[in-house]
């Protein structure tokens, strides 16, 4: 019998059961649950039992044990039995583990399942308990009386798949045959245009399992709410909790709430402490609301790009007379107020946080992993990536999950507003071919129970911005009416006026006594300020676009687009790592009679949902603009050029009409939960595409840009600060390394929350313009030359292409890379100072003062971008103070070259140094967080790029620099052993 190294004897609180699990197909186990947890437990991973992934799914466990092919590799998914063909019993599995827990005195123990798909029978020490249906229902079982006296406990869980797993039509489609929509479960599992079917429909113990020990009185689902007055100078914290007394006598209790603020690191200061005494009747539940806690000028929580994400820790304790501390609950809390309304000027939904309008630039989120191999570490990487792109909102798409508290925790920390949908999608509910599930899920009461339980699970997170009934559809009328009632706003949150005299005058009810009360509920993603606002299918488009079209009045007609998508080809190393050699073939480019090109991908790319870089009759193939792709490496590199341009133009087009036409946009989509080939800024292996950095550039809080339709230089200021005494420097560089045009516009003053056209570019209207040229825009403070925004373009004349760049690859532009690294255990933090050392051209259009400015290192200055975080250039001085680690020294690497010009499209990658590397082996270390990547440097210019990552035990990292002019890549730093 396997034993988990878990011992909670004489301890109180939660212990997560996430290791030591076994699993077996139910038809291969010849004992029932009572026998498994008494006389015949499994003795280890011997047939039919195998090591199991918990939390996760049956299919994830089968993949772990190599009993099925990897469905994320090549066509492996095609070789796995689909539940529609195998039957539900094939994916009905036993999960088994043991734990040690010995209670004393008046202690009580709960066995908690935060998510099972779809239903289960639980056996503990020979006792059977049934768990109800529903993927998004929490289950808490009081097992106090059935724990073994000696503390050794045997747990077996028989998990049943969804009741209506559905079938996959030969043509595929959105949500298969739609039958999964009859259950309260994730709907993407029957396949989508970005996802192949999940063969077990995510059957399994997919979320956290824990045992939880308390005294006689237990705290249940506290609800925290803040209200503000006097323009946010005064704040009140409201807290309502449910208490359960499990004992046979009245419990005399001392209930306390403590609020602490983080000062620095792990140091906290106590801001408020309140204690009250109360009696809880025997064997009863009661609700209690603390008297309001008052705060003067609290530190506020702001979205990414608007200020700091100030978080307080709220701890609620209850002690019982004669017992001591009975239970404790804690949660991070942010003082903030979120509002939204339909903007009269644009018709789009406009969001405000702490009274400030927020221009929404974000993305659609499916889920972290298609097999639900979810982890805190992966969630942190995912959300930090979104913050790194300067996004301020993610939308949790309704065909996937009610996302987990761990995701919300990192959204709180990094400042990502969250739009959370419930489990309705138009493709599966009341739409599709044929139309099915016209009344949504079969069990409406179950849907509402899961929805209310989800609200209780997530409502205390400051990042949560709104609830939405479904994706491109509304829930059935009775469900929609119930959600509208349950999620109605408290009267305080229905008013913009901040100058109420006191909370009590607003309503006889405290906001925390509502199910939520603080955020709007919208019935569907195409209603009430989103798309056309009336449910018409007016989101999208989802294919490649001409970059200049994003800036045109005719591109999108509504104020807030919840979904607009495009391409997302990853780098060549990802293709090689996720496909056999036959998947490395690039598309055939088929010339059509109308002059356009149609891409014909290989079967593996087609299976992985590849979306082409052309749209015959509307958009010429954007990869072929750079010349015919020779091989996989060439194709993927050119795809990155297109990715960067495409997504930067998309966001800059929206920037250009901030508040005049648009209130926000969410890109479809930011990532893939499997190895798909469309709509992503980083792939499933966690390597970023160049589109990631195009978005990062365009979505910065203060941004200088070129309107590709009008050729006006514009400055976008999304912050609340006026920008005074600032200037713009525009310079054009040709392929010979000369600067035929340069202009400085000084003494600018720009209003907050506004986009300002500055001046029309005179180039290329001048005589003899170059067919292909580079444009560098710098926006800076005149007082100290601090760069506020830098934007680099490569452009061609109207009707032209970028084929001249092919010959430019042969130019060798000299570079100097100065690297410095700090090591703390397995964590590496690099600073790479890259300088284009080619001579500055002797151009009459470039003044002496301007010439000197090219040598300035932007990153060596402190830039205040309005987000409350100072992006200091002497980054490693901070790291020296914070990390008691090993300094790997200062190293200088030279890349020699005799040519003068722009060092184009430079990008770093990190690899494991291996002496016995196999041919084709993927040596990348992932993920890596870069301050920038896919960047270019004009002659004499320098930039500092920071990298941070963790390495596996015993691995030595090697940093490589690649670029358009540096095809083979060059090692620029190899860390010490």
Which residues are part of the catalytic machinery? 472, 563
Pairing of strands 664-668, 360-365: parallel
| CA atoms within 13 Å, Cβ hemisphere of 193 | 11
| CA atoms within 13 Å, Cβ hemisphere of 759 | 13
Of 528, 564, 493, 490, nearest to 343 by C-alpha is 528
For residue 166, CA distances in Å to 35, 175, 180, 196, 596 come to: 33, 9, 6, 14, 40
Name the β-bridge partners of 611: none
Q: Which residue has the tokens 């927020």?
A: 358
| Cis-peptide, bond into residue 233, ω within 30° of zero | no
Run of H or E including 742: strand 741-750
Q: Which residues of 910-923 are buried (b: 16+ CB within 10 A; e: fewer)?
A: bbbeeeeeeeeeeb
The alpha carbon dihedral of 436, 442, 445, 451 has a sign of negative
Q: Which residue has the tokens 């978080």?
A: 311
DSSP output for 895-960: E-----S-EEEEEEEEEE--TTPPTT---B---EEES--SEEE-TT-EEEEEEEEE--TT--EEEE
- Look up residue 59 and give its DSSP letter: H
Name the β-bridge partners of 662: 658
The residues, any chain, with a CB within 8 Å of residue 659's CB and separated by 6 or more, are 343, 345, 346, 357, 359, 753, 754, 755
Helix axes 405-414, 376-388, angle to 10 degrees: 30
Three-class SS string for 623-636?
Answer: CHHHCCCCCHHHHH
Run of H or E including 212: strand 209-214
Are 215 and 324 within 8 A, CB to CB?
yes
153 phi and psi angles, rounded to 5 deg: -125, 135
Q: Which residue has the tokens 């109800």?
A: 132
DSSP output for 186-207: -SGGG-BTTB---TTTT-B--S
764 phi and psi angles, rounded to 5 deg: -105, 25
Of 358, 313, 310, nearest to 335 by C-alpha is 310
**Cα-atom radius of gyration of the chain, to the nearest Å?**
29
Cα torsion through 276, 282, 286, 291, rounded to 10: -10
Please state, in angstroms and rounded to a whole number, the distance separating the CA atoms of residues 831 and 820: 5
Run of H or E including 27: none
Please state, in angstroms and rounded to a whole number, the distance separating the CA atoms of residues 130 and 706: 62
Cα torsion through 22, 27, 32, 38, rounded to 10: -30
611 phi and psi angles, rounded to 5 deg: -115, 130
Neighbouring CB atoms inside 10 A of 88's CB total 18
Pairing of strands 417-421, 464-468: parallel
Please state, in angstroms and rounded to a whole number, the distance separating the CA atoms of residues 668 and 366: 10
Q: Which residue has the tokens 């289950």?
A: 139
């Amino acid at each position: 019998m396997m034993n988990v190294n878990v011992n909670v004897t004489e301890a109180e609180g939660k212990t997560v059961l996430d290791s030591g699990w076994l699993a077996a197909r139910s038809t291969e186990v010849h004992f029932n649950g009572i026998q498994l947890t008494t006389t015949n437990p499994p003795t280890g991973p011997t047939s039919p039992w195998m090591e199991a992934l918990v939390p996760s799914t049956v299919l994830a466990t089968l993949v772990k044990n190599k009993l099925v092919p990897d469905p994320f590799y090549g066509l492996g998914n095609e070789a796995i039995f689909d539940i529609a063909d195998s039957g539900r019993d094939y994916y009905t599995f036993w999960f088994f583990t043991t734990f040690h827990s010995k209670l004393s005195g008046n202690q009580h123990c709960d066995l908690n399942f935060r998510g099972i798909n779809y239903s289960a029978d639980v056996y503990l020490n020979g006792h059977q308990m049934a768990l109800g249906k529903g993927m998004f229902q929490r289950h808490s079982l009081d097992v106090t009386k059935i724990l073994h006296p000696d503390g050794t406990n045997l747990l077996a869980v028989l998990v049943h798949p969804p009741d209506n797993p559905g079938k996959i039509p030969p043509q595929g489609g959105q949500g298969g045959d739609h039958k999964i929509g009859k259950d309260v479960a994730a709907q993407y599992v029957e396949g989508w245009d970005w996802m192949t079917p999940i063969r077990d429909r995510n059957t399994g113990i997919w979320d956290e399992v824990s045992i939880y020990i308390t005294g006689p009185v237990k705290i249940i689902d506290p609800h925290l709410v803040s209200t503000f007055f006097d323009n946010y100078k005064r704040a009140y914290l409201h807290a309502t909790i449910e208490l359960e007394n499990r004992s046979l006598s009245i419990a005399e209790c001392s209930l306390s709430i403590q609020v602490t603020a983080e000062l620095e690191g792990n140091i906290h200061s106590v801001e408020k402490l309140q204690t009250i005494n109360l009696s809880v009747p025997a064997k009863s539940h009661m609700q209690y609301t603390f008297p309001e806690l008052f705060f003067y000028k609290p530190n506020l929580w702001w979205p990414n790009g608007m200020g700091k994400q100030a978080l307080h820790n709220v701890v609620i304790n209850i002690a019982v007379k004669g017992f001591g501390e009975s239970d404790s609950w804690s949660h991070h809390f942010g003082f903030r107020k979120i509002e939204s309304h339909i903007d009269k000027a644009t018709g789009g939904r406009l969001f405000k946080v702490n009274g400030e309008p927020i221009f929404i630039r974000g993305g659609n989120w499916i889920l972290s992993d298609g097999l639900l191999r979810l982890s805190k570490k992966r969630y942190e990487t995912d959300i930090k990536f979104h913050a790194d792109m300067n996004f301020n909102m993610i939308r949790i798409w309704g065909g996937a999950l009610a996302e987990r508290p761990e995701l919300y925790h990192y959204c709180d920390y990094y400042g990502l507003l969250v739009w959370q949908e419930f489990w309705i999608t138009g493709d599966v509910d009341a739409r599709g071919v044929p139309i099915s599930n016209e009344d949504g899920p079969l069990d409406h009461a179950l849907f509402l129970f899961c929805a209310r339980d989800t609200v209780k699970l997530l409502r205390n997170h400051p990042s949560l911005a709104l609830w939405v009934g479904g994706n491109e559809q509304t829930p059935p009328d009775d469900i929609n009416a119930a959600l509208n009632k349950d999620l109605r706003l408290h009267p305080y949150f229905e008013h913009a006026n901040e100058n109420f005299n006191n909370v009590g005058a607003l309503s006889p009810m405290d906001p925390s006594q509502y199910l939520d009360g603080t955020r709007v509920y919208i019935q569907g993603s195409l209603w009430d300020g989103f798309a056309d606002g009336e449910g018409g299918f007016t989101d999208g488009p989802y294919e490649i676009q001409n970059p200049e079209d994003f800036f045109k009045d005719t591109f999108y007609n509504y104020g807030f687009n919840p979904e607009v998508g495009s391409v997302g080809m990853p780098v060549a190393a990802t293709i090689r790592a996720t496909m056999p050699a036959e998947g490395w073939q690039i598309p055939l480019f088929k010339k059509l009679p109308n002059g356009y090109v149609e891409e014909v991908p290989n079967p593996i790319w087609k299976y992985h949902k590849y979306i082409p870089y052309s749209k015959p009759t509307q958009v010429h193939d954007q990869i072929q603009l750079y010349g015919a792709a020779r091989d996989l490496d060439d194709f993927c590199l050119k795809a990155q050029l297109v990715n960067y341009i495409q997504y930067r133009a998309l966001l800059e087009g929206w920037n250009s009409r901030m508040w005049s036409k648009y209130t926000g946009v969410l890109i479809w989509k930011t990532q893939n939960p499997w190895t798909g080939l469309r709509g992503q800024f980083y792939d499933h292996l966690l390597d970023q595409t160049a589109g990631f950095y195009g978005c990062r550039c365009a979505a910065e809080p203060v941004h200088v840009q070129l309107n590709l339709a009008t050729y006006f230089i514009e400055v976008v200021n999304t912050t609340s600060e006026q920008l005074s005494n600032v200037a713009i420097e525009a310079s054009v560089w040709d392929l010979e390394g000369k600067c035929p045009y340069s202009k400085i516009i000084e003494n600018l003053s720009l209003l907050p929350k506004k986009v300002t056209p500055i001046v029309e570019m005179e180039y290329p209207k001048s005589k003899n313009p170059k067919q292909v040229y580079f444009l560098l825009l710098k926006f800076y403070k005149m007082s100290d030359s601090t760069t506020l925004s830098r934007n680099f373009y490569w452009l061609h004349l109207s009707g032209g292409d970028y084929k001249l760049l092919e010959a430019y690859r042969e130019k060798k532009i000299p570079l100097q890379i100065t690297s410095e690294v700090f090591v703390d255990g397995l964590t590496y933090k690099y600073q790479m100072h890259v300088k284009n050392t080619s001579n500055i051209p002797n151009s009459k259009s470039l003044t002496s003062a301007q010439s000197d400015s090219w040598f300035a290192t932007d990153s060596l200055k402190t830039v205040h971008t309005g987000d409350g975080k100072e992006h200091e250039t002497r980054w490693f001085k901070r790291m020296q103070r914070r990390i008691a680690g090993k300094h790997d020294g200062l190293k200088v690497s030279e890349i020699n070259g005799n040519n003068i010009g722009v060092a184009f499209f430079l990008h770093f990658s990190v690899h494991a140094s291996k002496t016995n590397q196999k041919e084709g082996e993927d040596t990348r270390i992932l993920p890596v967080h870069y301050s920038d990547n896919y960047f270019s440097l004009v002659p004499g210019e320098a930039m500092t790029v920071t990298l941070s990552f963790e390495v596996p035990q015993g691995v030595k990292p090697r940093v490589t620099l690649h670029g358009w002019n540096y095809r083979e890549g060059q090692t620029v730093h190899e860390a010490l052993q």
